């Protein structure tokens, strides 16, 4: 089938969508119009704070301009969260639509525990999609084995686990089962983008495809491409009352143990933010290259594009400077979705990365072979519904942060720690999560309700 005829089918589908959206989710409307399957491009960055896009000073100017264009097709989710704010568990959740306590991938050392036969790639591959991954897969890959390609992937450029020094240079890709080393002059984001564009140019026009593009940027220590070094000199960390929180007396013990932010540490955070921003410029260019390649091939209006990150990253919020925390700085992620024929809108409903796989399966018209933990966001993309409901968050603990589970709604954030400590924040009155209300007798009913919801999800 030529791209032209596929495009005509999508156009007819979108005309039908305008009439059906009140009664049907987006993919149902597409199927009623007998349209072909949409292509899928998923772009997953590494440790990108949600405050980076949209941002007062655009650090991804090309994507931000496109995403905020009222005449465009990008849907911006302003309250999207990583269910586990840690790389490997979060990526496993995105690929499966299952929480970490169901995938078994609870830490960055658990990647080999993932059932690789039940992922978005295998489901779409079985449905006739050409599938490709370029960049980071799961931490630890290939898990002590020889180079291999996981089930469901037709093309594979997966980054081999390395050291911090190999995030941006001197990395190795497993290219369709063969290890290929890249030297010190190669820059990972650019190399990954070149492979992604090559795949898009080679994939047959008559076959739908999934491209999973996963740069390792801007994972710390962030390193901008040489052409971008110094572009954001003097850039300040985004302002928030949570940065350097002065009174942490009502926070759990692990936060109380953190030292206040002194001038030296604030300067270190500012420098880290500057380097993060400059590192994202190459990602911005990679997104543009992917979009322009789709446009040149006549497939942009046949392709769903998702842009997100595996987790956020704190830059001094609550005195913290890493991920893994239950607060917004660590858990909130950028989530921008472009759907052909769907008008730009901003969605404030809470959603999470466990919803990604169900959404993409729904848009592709593919039924998952087993129940998933997430819910399709297709109705929200089409402007209908209030969202999937409370967001469940979890972390298995490490040497700095104890294990915790949390539930987040439009108004409340409730956290239970393995230490027995609890937190409750009224997000309507206290969006910076500064005042812990868990011990307030007036909030006892809220605490009980949220605790019941947390127990329900954990037990499900």
Give the active site residues: 87
Q: Which of 177, 13, 119, 107 is nearest to 370 (CA)?
A: 119
Q: Which of 347, 312, 314 is nearest to 331 (CA)?
A: 312
Backbone CA torsion sign across 382, 383, 386, 387: positive
Cβ atoms within 10 Å of 267's Cβ, excluding its own = 11
How far apart are alpha carbons 53 and 40 in whole angstroms?
22
How far apart are alpha carbons 424 and 438 in whole angstroms?
5
Terminal Cα distance for the chain, rounded:
44
How far apart are alpha carbons 146 and 183 in whole angstroms?
21
- Tokens 């890959």, residue located: 141
How far apart are alpha carbons 241 and 458 in whole angstroms?
32
How far apart are alpha carbons 241 and 269 in whole angstroms?
15
* 391-395 β-sheet, strand order: 391-395, 404-408, 412-417, 422-426
Q: What DSSP designation does 249 have?
A: T
């Amino acid at each position: 089938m030529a791209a032209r005829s596929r495009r005509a089918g999508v156009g007819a589908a979108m005309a039908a969508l305008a009439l059906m959206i009140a009664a049907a989710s987006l993919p149902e409307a597409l199927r009623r119009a007998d349209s072909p399957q949409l292509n899928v491009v998923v772009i997953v960055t590494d440790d990108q704070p949600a405050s980076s896009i949209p941002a007062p000073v655009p650090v991804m100017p090309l994507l931000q301009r496109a995403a905020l264009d009222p005449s465009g097709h990008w849907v911006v989710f302003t309250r999207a969260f990583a269910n586990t704010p840690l790389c490997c568990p979060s990526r496993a959740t995105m690929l499966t639509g299952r929480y970490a306590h169901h995938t078994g991938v609870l830490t960055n050392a658990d990647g080999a525990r993932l059932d690789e036969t039940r992922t978005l790639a295998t489901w779409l591959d079985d449905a006739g999609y050409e599938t490709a991954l370029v960049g980071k897969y799961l931490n630890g890959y290939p898990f002590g084995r020889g180079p291999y390609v996981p089930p469901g992937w037709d093309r594979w450029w997966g980054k081999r686990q390395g050291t911090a020094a190999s995030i941006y240079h001197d990395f190795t890709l497993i290219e369709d089962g063969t290890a290929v080393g890249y030297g010190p002059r190669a820059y990972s984001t650019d190399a990954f983008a070149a492979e992604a564009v090559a795949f898009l140019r080679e994939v047959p026009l008559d076959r739908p495809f999934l491209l999973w593009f996963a740069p390792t940027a801007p994972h710390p220590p962030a390193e901008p491409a040489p052409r971008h070094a110094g572009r954001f000199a003097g850039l300040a960390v985004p302002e928030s009352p949570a940065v350097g929180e002065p009174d942490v007396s009502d926070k759990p013990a692990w936060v109380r143990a953190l030292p206040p932010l002194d001038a030296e540490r604030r300067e270190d955070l500012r420098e880290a933010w500057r380097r993060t921003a400059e590192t994202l410029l190459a990602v911005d260019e990679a997104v543009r290259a992917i979009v322009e390649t789709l446009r040149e091939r006549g497939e942009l209006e046949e392709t769903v594009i998702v842009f997100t990150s595996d987790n956020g990253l704190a830059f001094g919020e609550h005195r913290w400077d890493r991920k893994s925390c239950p607060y917004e700085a660590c858990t909130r992620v950028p989530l921008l979705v472009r759907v052909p024929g769907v008008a730009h809108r901003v969605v404030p409903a809470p959603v999470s990365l466990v919803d990604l796989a169900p959404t993409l399966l729904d848009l592709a018209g593919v039924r998952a072979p087993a129940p998933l933990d997430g819910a399709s966001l297709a109705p929200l993309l089409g402007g209908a519904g209030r969202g999937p409901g409370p967001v469940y968050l979890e972390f298995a603990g490490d040497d700095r942060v104890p294990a915790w589970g949390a539930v987040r709604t439009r108004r409340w954030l409730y956290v239970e720690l393995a230490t027995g400590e609890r937190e409750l924040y009224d997000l309507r009155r206290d969006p910076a999560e500064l005042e812990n209300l868990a011990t307030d007798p007036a909030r006892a009913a809220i605490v009980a309700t949220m605790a019941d919801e947390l127990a329900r999800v954990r037990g499900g």
